[in-house]
Amino acid sequence: MKKAIPAYLDSVSNAAITCRGKQLASLLSLSDAHVNTLLEHNAQSANLVETARTKLNYPWDDILLLHVEIVRAQHQGDLQQAYEDQKELVQSFQRAINSYDKWCLPFLYAINKDLRDLAVEADVQQANDKKENKNLEEAANVMSKSFTSCITDRSLDRAKSRKWGTYHISNLLFKTYFKIKSQNLCRNVLKAIRVNDLPPLESYPKADRVTFRYYLGRLYFLEEQYIKAEQELSLAFLECSTRSSRNKQLILHYLLPVRIYLGKLPTRKLLNRYPSISALYSPLVSAIREGNVRAFDVAMESGYAHLIDRGTFLTIEKARSMVIRTLCRRVYSIMNTTRISMETFKQALEFAGLEVDMEEVECMLAVLIFKGYIKGYLSHEKQFVVLSAKDPFPIPSSVVVT
């Protein structure tokens, strides 16, 4: 029984000496099976310290001792303490990191991830105790130093540089900044990436690439740079493995609103592949396709909470013009003439379930012309719409959105 702990210390020492990053990461992460072994054996403090200092070199002795404390604290529910110790662990490693190259990255990822997770848990506990909960903010600061230690690695051997950890840590940071609602801090990360000489994104692991593009897409989305957002989110979606259904859906929750805004509707096939996506977006997409304004409004109301939570409601709302455009196009194909009275459009809108007075109808038509969805002009005195003979209703996706 007593042999388990020394054996564990030996494997840590081994992994460090032979530069096996993944091995080291498991041995010192909080989600590995060895955690149970540590708890079972309840190593006596004094003994453990002595043994650790004998078997392990700097910084692994400190790191290991902290790790054991953290495991214990977490198990006992003292999350604030666990978090503080994990913070010290990360900082200890950061002080020594210049001696380690690419091999240490899996370990760096693991300790930062644990730091973040503990910060979140500690914050929840603090909030329940009605105390201040700024752990995640602080953790972000610490993680940011890990980012710096990756991106500023000036070692000449590119293949072994810590630069290969840049995007992975960036993604951890983005996830954190989004959670603490400080998305503007992502800017510093992006700036650093642009300024420093890194290998191209395409040569990084696919997982890093997909996640990075996802967050970049979301940032462009927040700034209403929809064309750029679509580019990044599409690439992320394409590359994202079909086995990661959850990730695919996460991307879709932003990709679909962007595409809808740009006039590109998803196929029924795509929607049907993901039931939760379909539940939320199918009614909207159908309404837009048919030009059914009432159905669109109903769908927006029922999806309100979900869409507001993701911050996509305001974007999809803009697609209402497109719905009215399609309704008008249907009127045109029924009337089959380029001169149509405004009264006709009013009737169509009322038939579709809207209550509108004539001035509002004129306003809607004027807006469609202004946005480029209808080519033609209005005559207020004659109360007529005069449509262009050629292509009076251009395809929405070809219309440049203002």
Partner 1 sequence: MRRREARLQRFKNTNNVKRSPAPSPATPATPNPDVMDWDEYTIVGTSSQLEKQYLRLTSAPDPASVRPLPVLRKTLELIKQKWEKEHNYTYMCDQFKSMRQDLTVQRIQNDFTVHVYETHARIALEMGDLGEYNQCQTQLKDLYSKGIAGETMEFLAYRILYMLHTQNRSALNAIMAEIKGTHANDKAVQHALQVRSSLATSNYHRFFLLYKETPNMGNYLIHQFIERERIYALRTMCKAYRPSIDIEFIRKELAFETTQDLHKFLEKLKISGTLDDQNLDARNALPGLNDLAKQFAKVDINRSATV
Q: Is 223 in the site for partner 1 (CB under 8 A)?
A: yes
Kindly provide the b/e burial profile for residues 376-387, where b requires at least 16 CB atoms within 10 angstroms of the residue's own CB. beeeeeeebbeb
Does 343 interact with partner 1 (rule: CB under 8 A)? no
Site for partner 1 in 224-243 (CB under 8 A): 224-225, 228
By C-beta, is 55 or 294 nearer to partner 1?
294
Q: How far apart are CA 233 and CA 211, in angstroms?
A: 10
Residues from 371 through 400 that contact partner 1 (CB under 8 A): 371, 377-381, 386
Residue 261's CB is within 10 A of a number of other CB atoms, namely 22
Burial of 150 (0-12, 13-18, 19+ CB in 10 A): buried
Region near partner 1 per CB under 8 A, out of 47-55, 212-220, 272-280, 281-289: 212-220
Cβ proximity to partner 1: between 228 and 264 the closer is: 228
Q: Candidates 19, 127, 308, 334: give the one binding partner 1 (CB under 8 A).
A: 308
State the number of CA atoms in the 13 A half-sphere of 250 facing the CB.
Answer: 16
Size of the site for partner 1 (CB under 8 A): 47
Residues 201, 216: Cα–Cα separation, whole Å:
13
- In the shown chain, the binding pattern of residues 94 to 123 toward partner 1, with x for contact by CB under 8 A and - for none, equals ------------------------------
Q: What gap in Å lies between CA 135 and CA 230, rounded to an integer?
A: 34
Binding residues for partner 1 restricted to 249-278, rule: CB under 8 A: none
Tell me if 220 contacts partner 1 by CB under 8 A: yes
CA quadruple 347, 353, 358, 364: dihedral, nearest 10: -100
Tell me which stretch binds partner 1 (CB under 8 A): 53-61, 163-171, 261-269, 311-319. Answer: 311-319
User: Is residue 127 a contact point for partner 1 (CB under 8 A)?
Assistant: no
Q: Which residue reads 């899996």 in tokens?
A: 106
Taken in order 177, 181, 182, 184, is the CA torsion positive or negative?
A: positive
Q: Does 58 bind partner 1 (CB under 8 A)?
A: no
- Nearer of residues 79 and 271 to partner 1, judged by Cβ: 79
For partner 1, the closer of residues 20 and 320 by Cβ is 320
Closest CA to 248 of 266, 267, 270, 230: 270
For partner 1, give the closer residue by CB, 107 or 147: 147
Q: Helical H runs in 318-377? A: 320-335, 342-351, 358-371
For residues 169 and 105, give the distance between their C-alpha atoms in angstroms, rounded to a whole number: 10
Q: Is there binding between residue 187 and partner 1 (CB under 8 A)?
A: yes
The one-character DSSP state at 266 is P
Residues that bind partner 1 (CB under 8 A): 78, 80-81, 183-187, 190-191, 194, 216, 219-220, 222-225, 228, 304-305, 308-309, 311, 313-314, 317-318, 320-321, 359-360, 362-367, 369-371, 377-381, 386
